[in-house]
Structure 1
Amino acid sequence: MTKRLTAGENGMQQGEKDKQAWSGSIRRWVSTLAEAAVEALTGRVTSWEISSKLRDGRKDWSWEAVAARSLRSELKRIARRQHKEIKMNASPPAMSLPFIRAVNSVDGFNAREQEIVESIQSTVMDANRSNISRTQAYLSCYEAFPELHWAFLAHMVSRNAGWNMSDLQGGLLSDLTNSEFQVNLYRFLERCNALIFQDAYPQLLLYMHSRKLGEPLFHLLPCFHVSAFMLPFWQHFWREPDHGAMLAVALILNEQNYIEGRVAQDPYFRSRVLKHPYFRLHELARFNQILFPLGQEEALTRGVAPSAAGNKLPLRPLAGLTLPKFDSLTARIKAGKSLYGLLFGYEEVHRRALAFARSTPHRGSRSEYWPALFTADKQAAINNGKESSVLLESEWLPSGKRLYSPELESVWQDTPSGPIPRYDWYRSSAKLRLFREPVRPLLFDMTHAHRAQLEKTAMAHDVAHENQPKHG
């Protein structure tokens, strides 16, 4: 005769089962964390070895101390005039120097100059539709005028912006945050990307027009709301076109200061993005990794135990850096200079990053650089709460079980940038303290660090997936 369990006994048995399941889950995650820690340590050793090989063949840039001092002196004079004009006016004007005409006006220019201004405005508007079009425009600019180093740096960094935007709808991060934060973070990333392009691309186009005509046209910069800070650099670069590093550093300072007040310090984005608890989660989940994929896909020996030393990672190697704090203007500028030092300081990194850019159209999916781990096809992706264990067990993921990384235009629509506050950020010579020659980083292989970060993100995803309420 079968004994019927009482409701209390049945509940006790179910509770015991839940306890055992939870205990098993804890043991599994502890084991996974231990494996990830060992892999991270051995991977760091391997990363140093790879970085050492890539450091062979330094790529020289021209940074003359005399020219740098002369530019600083000119910029100090400009700052003093800016400050004087601000004191004379109740509110700071958008542009305040005598040699700068009315902003966004072509009055007083000849017909050819007016035509150039209107052509640039139209080109910028068309190319500023999305991260995809901006990224391609930067590369086309660099291909046409390779002395414009910043254009290639901007292309590579803009690729990372696109990947980060797509991540918000990808297979790991989309489950870790709510939809409201995802939309706000997308708007934040998109606005940074769009505003930098809106400010910098007209400068690049103006240089291109100047080259074609054989005469400088930088007196037209104010028509595009460009800061007074940039005029001396463009004038110097016209005379010394081999000083691409000096112009690149100036553009890094300019663009990061440009978005500081317009985006990073904007109350809406500070409260809903930068100060939101989810933002820290995104920083921990590779949002702050800037990656330069190198060359064609190739195998690398992973930093694993000697018994598995024969294993190969069929992935493209990655160079890059981790940005310590996105909401810090100083940190962003220093990171930008380090990234320039990496991309233009080592011949091998530059050559192989350019090979990747030329051979791989930017669509916003991380499958562009690691197709062995990512797929843009949602139906061929894994999303079952077991990603972390699969990643730790496999060097790569089989077709049909890869991480979902969508193409940008399949998950986000083009977004109008909206009104842009018009003012000149350069009002004090104190801003010049970071105008220094870039330094070449020493440890910059990100292949293993990026994969380790994927594993950590997958662990968080799997924990969240396992703790979701079960239905049925």
Structure 2
Amino acid sequence: MGQPRRHAAGRSLWSTLTSLPRAASEAALGLAASWHNSSELRRVKKPILWNEGTTRSILCILDKTAEGCRRERAGRTGWPSKASQNLTSADHLLIQRIRETSAEANRSNITRTKAYLEIYEEFPELHWALLAHLVSRNAGWNMTDLKGGLMSDLTDTRFKMNMYRFLERCNALIFQDAYPQLLLYKHSRALERSCFHLLQHFQISEFMIPFWDRFWIDRSSSLLSVALIINEQNYIEDRVIRHPFFREHVLNHRYVKLHEWTRLNQILFPLGESNCRHDLYKQSILPLRPLTGLTIQHFADPSARIKTGKTLYAMLFGYESVFQGALHFARCTPHQGSRDEYWPDLFTHVQEQAINAPDESSVLLQSEWLPEGERLYSPRLEQVWYDTEYEPIPRYDWFQKPDMLRHVSKPALPLWIDMTHAHRFSLERTSAVHDAARSFR
């Protein structure tokens, strides 16, 4: 038995090595096609409205707020008492209702992602909700990748669990902080009066107060979206990113480098339109549904994450083709955590119909799509992970100094926005590592 196994491993390794030149050729063609596709997607721009005068006035308020926060919270780690504020019985009922609604929607990545889209559909001026929906989809795909056909063989069980807890914790805490804010706006609209005096009763940072107050007046969607991007990334910074457990067992773990080298740090916006093939590149591997997005660099750096969020916002709301395509995809494709939601002819959530060959990298290179029964396994979230309970989080306001105010600026439109080829190439690269690892078992 040992000799045939060694021969099979040798063939698999040889197949992997011989596929590399073609992969490099495809990558070169893909770069050219990707730039062409990006140019096509950038043709029709949408205005990103931004009032510099309003921005300066809010920054002035926040600069004073930060100074006051430092003095008020010196030597204190908890949240200031709200006992001095007079609330009506209607206020108390609204607070309780929002807490219950938020807790119910915060059960899993699936429920959060759905809730974001629903409130965006109801109030399309809440741009951040659509952005959050699409980014939350990516979080779900990353969670199921840990037990999918390619990545599951490359990491151990303990790391998979810790990485899942990390992704789930970030996803849940952002929702816990942001969704009550969106619901307060919803109820303000219903009552035809501002309810934002209740923000601090949900432990919302004082950073957000002037942005919501201004949004109630002029519906400045871009400014509010940038504020929410800054707020949510700072909200998870100390609670998750700098948490000693996640630093040691996730962010500083050797497997994270492997995930970054493959595709875990890609954020994808699949587009509903399916015609993205160009005659010049008809021989290249180009899936029918195009993808836009970008690659996250330096995830542990909050400024880098904020920059990424602003770029994604500009891409989504600054280019008509991206906006319409991503919205069409979101509306027509229920989120369940499997990558077969955007490339169903390459992935499958049915394990019995997935490929289980020792040379998956060469198989990927031979065909644009994979036939039924030989596709990459990408499970649905509820097939492989369960709802998770966590310890209570510390309650404090992150906004105690003004250094993050430098990020309150108009998002710039990115130029290279197509990710179709980059994502396809990352799959080939991951499969090559997967096949090589199998060869040495």
- Would the TM-score normalized by the shorter structure come out above 0.5? yes
Residue of structure 1 equivalent to 2:35: 48
Question: Offset of 1:387 from its aligned partner?
Answer: 0.9
Q: Which runs of 5+ in 1 are unaligned?
A: 1-10, 96-100
Of the structure 1 ranges 180-189 and 32-41, higher mean CA displacement relative to structure 2 is found in: 32-41
Is 2:381 aligned against 1:394?
no
Is 2:25 aligned against 1:38?
yes
Counterpart amino acid of residue 75 in structure 1: L
* 1:372 pairs with one of 334, 345, 349: 345
CA contact (8 A) 1:302 1:311 kept: no
CA contact (8 A) 2:274 2:289 kept: yes
CA contact (8 A) 2:354 2:375 kept: yes
* 2:302 pairs with one of 311, 329, 339: 329
Residue of structure 1 equivalent to 2:417: 444
Structure 1 or 2, whichever has the larger Rg, is 1
Counterpart amino acid of residue 157 in structure 1: V
Question: Offset of 1:464 from its aligned partner?
Answer: 1.1
Residue of structure 2 equivalent to 1:271: 248
Deviation by residue 1:317-373 (Cα, 9 ceiling, x = unmatched)? 000000012111111110000000100011110011000000000000000000010
CA contact (8 A) 1:171 1:404 kept: yes
Q: Secondary structure at the match of 1:287?
A: coil
* 1:190 pairs with one of 149, 153, 168: 168
Q: Flag the 1:56–1:351 CA change in 2: closer, same or farther, 3 A.
A: same
Counterpart amino acid of residue 42 in structure 1: L
* 1:223 pairs with one of 201, 205, 214: 201
Residue of structure 2 equivalent to 1:248: 225
1: CA distance between counterparts of 2:351 and 2:324?
A: 33
Q: Secondary structure at the match of 1:295?
A: coil
Of the structure 1 ranges 429-438 and 372-381, higher mean CA displacement relative to structure 2 is found in: 429-438
Deviation by residue 1:223-243 (Cα, 9 ceiling, x = unmatched)? 1110000000000101111x1
2: CA distance between counterparts of 1:426 and 1:194?
A: 20
Deviation by residue 1:9-50 (Cα, 9 ceiling, x = unmatched)? xx9xx79x96x8877665533322211111111101100101
Is 2:94 aligned against 1:79?
no
Question: Offset of 1:109 from its aligned partner?
Answer: 0.9
Q: Secondary structure at the match of 2:29?
A: helix
Residue of structure 2 equivalent to 1:144: 122
Q: Secondary structure at the match of 1:230?
A: helix
Deviation by residue 1:47-83 (Cα, 9 ceiling, x = unmatched)? 0101101101111121111111001000001001011
Q: Flag the 1:63–1:349 CA change in 2: closer, same or farther, 3 A.
A: same
Is 2:294 aligned against 1:289?
no
CA contact (8 A) 2:358 2:439 kept: yes
Counterpart amino acid of residue 353 in structure 1: A
Residue of structure 2 equivalent to 1:28: 15
Question: Offset of 1:107 from its aligned partner?
Answer: 7.2
Q: Flag the 1:381–1:214 CA change in 2: closer, same or farther, 3 A.
A: same
Residue of structure 2 equivalent to 1:68: 55
2: CA distance between counterparts of 1:106 and 1:130?
A: 35
* 2:76 pairs with one of 80, 91, 94: 91
Q: Secondary structure at the match of 2:395?
A: coil
Counterpart amino acid of residue 325 in structure 2: R
Question: Offset of 1:465 from its aligned partner?
Answer: 1.3
Counterpart amino acid of residue 57 in structure 1: V
Is 2:161 aligned against 1:177?
no
Counterpart amino acid of residue 121 in structure 1: R
Counterpart amino acid of residue 340 in structure 1: Y
Deviation by residue 1:218-276 (Cα, 9 ceiling, x = unmatched)? 110011110000000000101111x1000000000000000000000000000000000
1: CA distance between counterparts of 2:8 and 2:140?
A: 39
CA contact (8 A) 2:9 2:440 kept: no
Question: Offset of 1:314 from its aligned partner?
Answer: 4.5
Residue of structure 2 equivalent to 1:235: 213
Is 2:172 aligned against 1:199?
no
Deviation by residue 1:202-227 (Cα, 9 ceiling, x = unmatched)? 00000000011111011100111100
Residue of structure 2 equivalent to 1:456: 429
Residue of structure 2 equivalent to 1:3: none
2: CA distance between counterparts of 1:92 and 1:162?
A: 33
1: CA distance between counterparts of 2:180 and 2:280?
A: 45
Q: Secondary structure at the match of 1:205?
A: helix
2: CA distance between counterparts of 1:314 and 1:433?
A: 40
Is 2:95 aligned against 1:108?
no
Counterpart amino acid of residue 196 in structure 1: I
1: CA distance between counterparts of 2:10 and 2:354?
A: 29
- Structure 2 matches for 1:2-21, cutoff 5 A? none
Question: Offset of 1:384 from its aligned partner?
Answer: 2.0
Q: Secondary structure at the match of 1:292?
A: strand
Q: Flag the 1:467–1:425 CA change in 2: closer, same or farther, 3 A.
A: same
Q: Which runs of 5+ in 2 are unaligned?
A: none
Q: Which has the higher contact order (CA 8 A, sep 6+)?
A: 2
Counterpart amino acid of residue 133 in structure 2: H
1: CA distance between counterparts of 2:310 and 2:253?
A: 28
Deviation by residue 1:153-205 (Cα, 9 ceiling, x = unmatched)? 00000000000001011000000000000000000000000000000000000
CA contact (8 A) 1:381 1:404 kept: yes
2: CA distance between counterparts of 1:407 and 1:339?
A: 25
Residue of structure 1 equivalent to 2:387: 414
CA contact (8 A) 2:30 2:284 kept: no
CA contact (8 A) 2:13 2:436 kept: no
Question: Offset of 1:280 from its aligned partner?
Answer: 1.0
Q: Secondary structure at the match of 2:206?
A: coil
Counterpart amino acid of residue 82 in structure 1: C
CA contact (8 A) 1:210 1:217 kept: yes
Residue of structure 2 equivalent to 1:98: none
Is 2:98 aligned against 1:120?
yes
Aligned-residue sequence identity (percent) comes to 53
TM-score, normalised with respect to structure 1 = 0.90
Q: Secondary structure at the match of 1:300?
A: coil
Counterpart amino acid of residue 317 in structure 1: P
CA contact (8 A) 1:46 1:302 kept: no
Question: Offset of 1:453 from its aligned partner?
Answer: 0.1
Deviation by residue 1:289-313 (Cα, 9 ceiling, x = unmatched)? 0000001444524985xxxx35674
